[in-house]
Amino acid sequence: MDYADLGYRRVAVASPVVSIGNPEANTKEIIHQAKLWADDHVTVGLFPELCLSGYSAEDLFFSETLITRAIEGLVDLCANNPLPLLVVGSPWRLADGRLLNCAVAIGAGRVLGMVPKSVLPNYGEFYDLRWFASGADVNQTISHPGLGTFDVRVDQLFDLAGCLVGMEICEDLWAPHAPSTNSALAGAEIILNLSASNELIAKAEYRRNLVSMASAKNICAYAYSSAGATESSKDVVYGGHCFIAENGQLLGETPRFGLAAHSLICDIDSAYLRHDRSQNTTFAKSSRPNPYQRILASNELPPLQALMRQYDAFPFVPEDADELSSRAAEILQIQATGLARRMRAAKIEKLVIGLSGGLDSTLAFLVCLDALELLSLGPEHLVALTMPGPGTSSHTKKNAFGLARAALVQLQEIPINAAVKQHLQDLKHNGEHDVVFENAQARERTQLLFNYANKVNGLVVGTGDLSELALGWCTFNADQMANYNVNASVPKTLIRYLVDWYSRHRASPSMVKILTSVLDTPVSPELIPADADNIGQLTEAIIGPYELHDFFLFHYLRHGASPTKIFHLGRLCFAQYDDATIVHWLHKFFQRFFTQQFKRTTLPPGPKVGSVSLSPRGDWRMPDEASVEPYLKEIEQLL
C-alpha cells in the first residue's frame, strides 16, 4: 500500500548545527540531513531561517564574501538535493542593493522560487531592519546560471502532486495578518515556517499554541523549524524548537536546547484537510487574495509503504488520563445543561427515564441527577421505570434497583410480559423470537414511558447513544424516540469511560458498587429470553465490536475518509483483528449506516458534545434513499 495515494505527504523539519558566517559548512550539513530524509521517503524538507549563513551573522550580512558563498551554497544544494522539495533560509541581494531574508525552495535541480520575509521585527532584541528590507512588495524574476530562472515574491505556492505548499518566515506568523493566511486561502495545504526564535521563559508554550492555532484557523498543516543553540549566544539563546501541527493538533515536536542537530518527520493528511475546508463554510466564504503563482515542484513523490504517524484506536477517548478526566466532566456538564434548559423551557419539573441497568441508561440517569441539581430540584423529581420483559436478566434488573436506591430515586417496576403477549396474540404472531417479538417489547416500553410522563407532567429522557444511531441499532418509534436524548452524540466506547469517571470522582460509596456492576455488564438489548440468569443476546456478537464501529464512524464522519483509507488505518490500530475481520465489519458498518438513515431523520433533540454528531438538523443531512452500493463495492475489493 502506498499511503501517498491516500493523500499523505511526508514532511520533515530540522534544526542543524550552524557555523555562523560559513555557508560552505552549513551546506554540507543540510545535504547530509537531506540524504538521510531521502532514505525515509520524505517529500518536503525544511530548515530554519537563514540557516545557510546563520541567523546571528549580524553585520557579516554586509560582507560580499558571505553573500557570494551563500549563492555558491545554493548552487551546491541544487546539484545535490535528493528531495522533491527542499526549503532553506538564505540571504539574497537584489540588483538594486536591497538585502532580503528568503525562504529558498529547491527542487528538480534548481531554485523553484524564493519567498522573502514580509514582517521584519525591530524591537527588543531584534534588529532585522538593520540588515534586511521587507519583501512584501517585491516581485522580481531572476535568472542565474547555477540556480535557474525563478521568482522572488511572497505570493507563490509550490505544487507537490496536487498538494500546494506555502512559506513564511518567523515574525510573519506573529503579525496580526500573517502571510500564511493568504497562502492558505490561495490553496496551500502545508505552510512552512523558517524561524529563528530565541528562548524566553514560557515562550515555547506561546510559540506552540501560536502554530497550533494557525494550523487550526487556516485548516492546514504547519511545519515550524527554528534555529538551534549553535547560533550566537552573545545576548540570546536559541533552542532549536521544531514541531508540526495539523488542523489544530500537534503531530510531533522536538526537544529544545541540544547542541547537536535534531529533526522530526511526520505524515500530513492532505485529504483530511481538503475535507474540512470543503465542509467549513467560513473558510470557503473568506475573501481570497489575488491568485498566487503556482510552481510545479514534482508530480512524482516517494512511495510511503509505512505511515510515520500515530492514530488512536479509540479516537473518541483521550489517551491522557488528565485530559480524559477534564473532558468527562465537561461532557456531563453539556448534557446536564442541555436537559435543564429543556425542562425550564417546557415548564416541567419531572423527568422520566427507562432504567435497564445497562451502560446507556445509567449514563442518562446520572445526567438527569446533574440536571436536577442545576435546577435546585431533588432526586424525587426523577422517576425511573424498569420494565422487565422476556429477555431481562436478573443481573441488569438488580443494577437498576441498586442505582435508584443509591441515588434516592423513585423506581417503579412495570412488567411488560402480559402486555407484549396480548399484543402478539392480537397480531396472530406465531411465537417465534423474530423482529416482531423484539420490537413489540421495545415499543411497549416506549409507550409506557410517554404515557407515564403524561401522568406526572414529565419529560421522557432518551438513552440511545451515537454508535447505536450510526448502526440503526434501535427500534423505530421505540427506543429511537424520546422528548430529549442526552446521549445522542456520545459514542459507546466513550460512555464506558464517562460512567467509570463518575464512579471514581462523583459517586457515593453505595453507588460505586452499582456502577462497577454496570461496567461489568455485557452490552445487550435483552429482547430474547435468556437461560437462567444469563443474558440471551450479546450485541457485539450480532453487529460487531463497538471499538471497530466507533473507529469507522469517527474517520468517516470527522475526516471524510473512504472505506479504503479506513481499512488501512484500522489495520494499523487493531492488530488483534485480521484483515478479513476488519473488512467484514466495515462492510456491515456501511451497510447499516446507509440503510438505517430513516431512523436518524426523525431523531428527537439532544445536545452535541463532540465534533461528531448525527443530528438531522445540523451535522448529518442525508437522504434516506441514498445508495450504499459504491461503498460496498469498494470494500469488496480490499482483499
pLDDT tens digit string along 431-478? 888 889 888 888 999 999 999 999 999 999 999 999 999 999 999 999
User: Which is the catalytic residue, given 29, 49, 231, 526?
Assistant: 49
User: Which is the catalytic residue, given 51, 163, 170, 242?
Assistant: 170
Phi, psi of 110 (to 5 degrees): -150, 175
User: Which is the catalytic residue, given 102, 117, 231, 599?
Assistant: 117
328: confidence class by pLDDT, cuts 50, 70, 90: very high
Out of 3.90.1150.10, 3.60.110.10, 3.40.50.920, 3.40.718.10, select the CATH number for domain 3-298. Answer: 3.60.110.10
pLDDT of residue 432: 85
546: confidence class by pLDDT, cuts 50, 70, 90: very high
Residues of the chain above pLDDT 90, percent: 86
3-state secondary structure of 166: strand
pLDDT tens digit string along 467-523?
Answer: 999 999 999 999 999 999 999 999 999 999 999 999 999 999 999 999 999 998 877
pLDDT of residue 524: 64
Please confirm, yes or no, whether 117 is among the known catalytic residues.
yes
Q: Give the mean pLDDT of 74-89.
A: 98
CA end-to-end span of the chain? 12
Domain boundaries, the chain: 3-298, 321-636
Contact, 145 vs 130, CB < 8 A? Answer: no
Q: What is the DSSP letter of 55?
A: G
429, pLDDT greater than 90 = no
pLDDT of residue 394: 81
pLDDT tens digit string along 145-202?
Answer: 999 999 999 999 999 999 999 999 999 999 999 999 999 999 999 999 999 998 899 9
Contact, 104 vs 74, CB < 8 A? Answer: yes
CA–chain centroid gap for 499, Å, is 23
| The one-letter amino acid at 510 | S
Contact, 464 vs 587, CB < 8 A? Answer: no
pLDDT tens digit string along 275-318?
Answer: 999 999 999 999 888 899 999 999 999 999 999 999 999 999 99
Please confirm, yes or no, whether 49 is among the known catalytic residues.
yes
538, pLDDT greater than 70 = yes
**Cα 26 from Cα 219, distance rounded (Å):** 33
Tell me whether strands 156-160 and 163-169 are parallel, antiparallel or unpaired: antiparallel
**Cα 519 from Cα 522, distance rounded (Å):** 8
| The one-letter amino acid at 569 | L
Query: Comparing 419 with 458, which gets the higher pLDDT?
Result: 458
pLDDT tens digit string along 256-277?
Answer: 988 899 999 999 999 999 999 9
Q: Does domain 321-636 have CATH number 3.40.1190.20?
A: no
Contacts of 556 (CB under 8 A, 6+ apart): 566, 593
Helical axes 579-595 vs 546-557, angle rounded to 10°: 60
Helical axes 509-519 vs 394-407, angle rounded to 10°: 150
Helices (H), 123-202: 128-131, 171-174, 179-185
Contacts of 402 (CB under 8 A, 6+ apart): 513, 514, 517
Lowest mean pLDDT among 195-209, 327-341, 386-400: 386-400
**Cα 459 from Cα 367, distance rounded (Å):** 14
Would you state the torsion angle of the CA atoms of residues 423, 429, 431, 434, taken in this order, to the nearest 10 degrees?
-100
pLDDT of residue 323: 94
Q: What is the DSSP letter of 523?
A: P
127, pLDDT greater than 80 = yes
530, pLDDT greater than 80 = no
Q: Residues for the chain: how many in total? A: 639
**Cα 488 from Cα 603, distance rounded (Å):** 9
pLDDT of residue 541: 82
Other Cβ atoms within 10 Å of 584 Cβ, number: 16
Please confirm, yes or no, whether 455 is among the known catalytic residues.
no
